[in-house]
A and B are shown apart, each in its own frame.
Chain A
Amino acid sequence: METLAIYASRLVTERDYFASGHRACSGCGEALALRYVCKALGRNTIISNATGCMEIVSSPLPETSWEVPWIHTLFENASAVASGIESGIKALKRKHGYTKEVKVVAMGGDGGTADIGLQSLSGALERGHDFIYVCFDNEAYMNTGIQRSSETPFGASTTTAPAGKFSMGQHTQKKNMPAIAAAHNIRYVATSCSSYPFDIMNKIEKAKQIKGPSYIHILSVCPTGWRTASNLTITMGRLAVETGIFPMYEIEDGKYTLNFDYPKLRPVEDYLKVQGRFRHLTKENTAEIQEHVLTEFNRIRLLAGKKIK
C-alpha cells in the first residue's frame, strides 16, 4: 500500500492542536476524529467551525481547546466564512505582502453540513475556494438532544423521529453527502471513520495537497445518541465499516477507490443489536436494512471498478 509509512504510529506527531480538557462526552468518537484531523492539518491552518458538538465542547468563554486560529460564527455558514478567509488571504498575499502558507478548513456536524449548511457548502464548493470541508457525521443533532437529521440512518430512533406504535423511527435513508460533494466536480472527496485514525490522517494529508475544494465525510461514533457503551466507540466504528454500513472510499478526480473491502461483509445485525437507537427493530426491519446495505456497498464496488460479490 502506498501509504504504508504512515501506519508506523511513532511517525505521527505528538503535537495536538485540539487540546484535551474539552467537554465532549466520554467515549466521543467525534472528538477523537477531530484530534486526528487537527494533527494531520498541522499548525498552518485556520478553522471555520459550524455550531455543533465540537464547537460547543471546545469554546466556553474564556476557555478554548484550539491551538490553531479558529472562528465560530453560526450554524449554517461555516463554508461561507471559510470562503471569506481564503479570499481575504489571497488578497493580502497579492496586495499587502502576506507570505504565510495557510490551509483553510471548514467543519461541521451532519446537521451543519447536510441540512442547514448545505447551501453555503455547495456555494463554496462550486466557487472553487481552496479549502477542506470536514463533516463529522454522528447521524443526528446530538448536541441538542438527539434530533433526527438527513444523515440519521434508516430505522434509528431519535427524539424527533421516535420509534412508536406507528413508526419505526427514521423512515428515510441517509442523505448521500459524499456524492453531493462529488457532483460539484471537486478533485477530492473521501469518507472515513473515527475508529480509523491513520485513514483519517492519510485522507487529510491528501486533501491538503489539493488546490481547490475537497470534502471529507467522517462517520463519528456517538455513544450518547447511538445509546452504546462509551467503551465500545472504536468497536462501533469498525462494525460500521466491516458490515458495509459505512463504506470507506475516495473519489479522486472522479475516480472511486474502495479503501476497505472484505471477502464477506459482517451481518448488519452485529452493528444494530448493540445500539439502543435500533433496539426496536424487527427481524423484517433488519432484513430490509441488510438488503439496502448490500445494494449500496455493491454500488460503490462497481463505481470503484470491482466485481460484485
Chain B
Amino acid sequence: MTSKRIGIESSLAVSEAVKLANVDVIAAYPITPQTHIVESLAEMVANGKLDAEYIPVESEHSAMSACLGSCAVGARTFTATASQGLILMHEVLLVAASLRLPIVMAVANRALSGPLNIWGDHSDAMITRDAGWIQIFIENGQQAFDQVLCAFRIAEHPDVLLPTIINIDGFHVSHVIEPVYILDQKSVDEFLPPYKHPRPLDPDDPITMGCFAAPNLYTEARRALDASVRASKTVILDTWKKYGDLTGRYYNPVEKYKADGAETILVTMGSYSENAMIAIDDLQDQGKKIGLVRLRLWRPFPYEEIQEALSSAKNVIVLDRAISLGGPAPVCSEIRAALYTLDKKPQVASVVGGLGGRDISPDNFKTLIDVAMGKLKAGETQEIIMFGVRE
C-alpha cells in the first residue's frame, strides 16, 4: 500500500475517493445546498480522469431517481447532496433501500428551512433516519475519504445491498482544507471488488422490480428490510477491519476518547467531536473525571457498543446538532433507549446546540459540560438544554 499525503479540501477528498472507486454513474443537482464534490467529479469526467456517465439532472428528486435506474442495471452509482436537497430526495431514498440498491451518497450535513439557513448541523441526517440507509458520520477530511471508499464495499457487499450515506459536516468539514492520505489505485482495486448486482434489470433474465405489497405482505417486506439493515453491521465491522489492516486507520461504530474509567461521558457525533476532544484534554488535566464517546455508526444503531461504552459511567451528556420539534433530541433519545434495559443506568442530560452553523468551540464545550453537570446534579434531566441560546 502506498498513499500520498496532500492538502486538499474535504469535498475534493471525497471526489478523489469516488474516482478511485471508479464509479460508473454520477447523477447530481448542483445548486446550494450542494458542495464542490459534484463539481470536481464533473471536471474529472470532462477531463477524462474518471470514465463515468455524469447526469446533470433537474432536481435532487431526479438525481436519486436516476441513481435508482443506473444502480438497478448494475452500474456503480454515486451522488452527493445536503439539506433541502436531501429532503427533496426523501421519497426516493426509501425506495432505494426497499429495492436494495447500493447507491453511495455523501451528505454535507446542513440545516433545514425555515428560516432559510445553509450552514451546518445534523437536521438533514436526522430527518433521514428512518429511510433504511446505512448512515455513517465522520469528523474530518481523512475520515471522509476513508469512509466513502468503505461505503462502496459495505453497500455493494452481497450480504448487504443497501444504500449508504456518509455524513460530512457541512462547511466545518466539507469546505475545509486538510492534510489527507490519498490511497493508490492498486490498493483501492484490491480492497474494493467490482459491483455486481445479483439480479439486475436484464432482457436476458427479465425481473420485475418495485411490486406493490398488499396488507398480507407489506409487514413481511418491511421486517425483511429492517433485518437486513441490522445485519449489515457484520459487514461494516469486517470492512473497517480490512480497511484498518490496509491503512492503519481503524474505525468502530462507537469510538472512545479518554473515556475508560470516566465518571461523566460526553457523547458527540461528527466534526464537533474534535473540539470536544480539546475540551476533554483540558478538563482531564484539571483532574476532572470526564471522557468522550463519539458515535460513528448512526444506522444500524450500535446498541451493544453504546451500552458497553456508557454503562459504567455515572453521568452521560449527549449533544445533538438537530432538534426534534416538540420531542426528545434524536441522538439522545436513542442513547436513552439503549441504556434503559441496563440494571444500573447512568443519568443522561440532553443538550441541543451547534444548530445552523453555530460554532461550539473547545471553551464552549467546557461551559456546555458545566451547564449539563449542574442539571445532572439537580436531577433535572427531563428538559432539553438548548446550549448558547439567547432568550
Contact = CB atoms under 8 A, between A and B. Distances in A.
Interface of A: 43-46, 48, 55-56, 59-64, 66-74, 76-77, 80-92, 94-96, 100, 102, 119-120, 122-123, 126-127
Q: Which 10 residue pairs across A and B have the least CB separation, nearest first? A: A84-B69, A88-B70, A123-B58, A84-B66, A80-B65, A88-B75, A80-B62, A77-B65, A72-B210, A91-B24
Contact of B208 (A59, A74, A126): A59
A232 to B, nearest CB: 30
Size category of the B interface is: 35 or more
A80 B206 CA distance: 21
24 contacts: A43-B203, A44-B203, A55-B212, A60-B211, A62-B217, A67-B206, A68-B203, A69-B207, A70-B208, A72-B209, A73-B65, A73-B95, A73-B99, A76-B61, A77-B62, A80-B65, A83-B27, A87-B55, A88-B69, A94-B51, A100-B203, A119-B59, A120-B62, A127-B56
Contact of B211 (A59, A84, A88, A102): A59
A123 B206 CA distance: 27
B91 interface: yes
Contacts of B92: 73-74, 77
A123 B209 contact: no
Contact of A123 (B57, B77, B205): B57
Interface string B32-47: 0000000000000000
Contacts of B57: 80, 83, 123, 127
A61 B211 contact: yes
Contacts of A71: 68-69, 72, 99, 201, 208-210
Instruction: Name which of A69, A84, A92 has the most chain B CB atoms within 10 A of its CB.
Output: A84
Interface string B220-241: 0100000000000000000000
A82 B91 contact: no
Nearest to B59: A119
B68 A87 contact: no
A88 B77 CA distance: 9
Interface of B: 22, 24-25, 27, 51-53, 55-59, 61-63, 65-75, 77, 91-92, 95, 99, 194, 201-214, 217, 221
A88 B92 CA distance: 18
Contact of B69 (A82, A92, A102, A119): A82
B56 A92 contact: no
Contacts of B207: 69-70
A64 B62 contact: no
A88 B65 contact: no
A81 B77 CA distance: 13
Given A55-B212, A83-B27, A123-B57, 17 more contacts: A60-B212, A67-B206, A69-B201, A72-B211, A77-B65, A80-B63, A83-B55, A83-B62, A83-B65, A83-B66, A88-B74, A88-B75, A88-B77, A94-B51, A95-B22, A95-B24, A96-B194
Instruction: Name which of B59, B74, B75 has the most chain A CB atoms within 10 A of its CB.
Output: B75
Contacts of A73: 65, 68, 92, 95, 99, 210
A80 B69 contact: yes
A62 B203 contact: no
Contacts of B74: 88, 92
A120 to B, nearest CB: 5
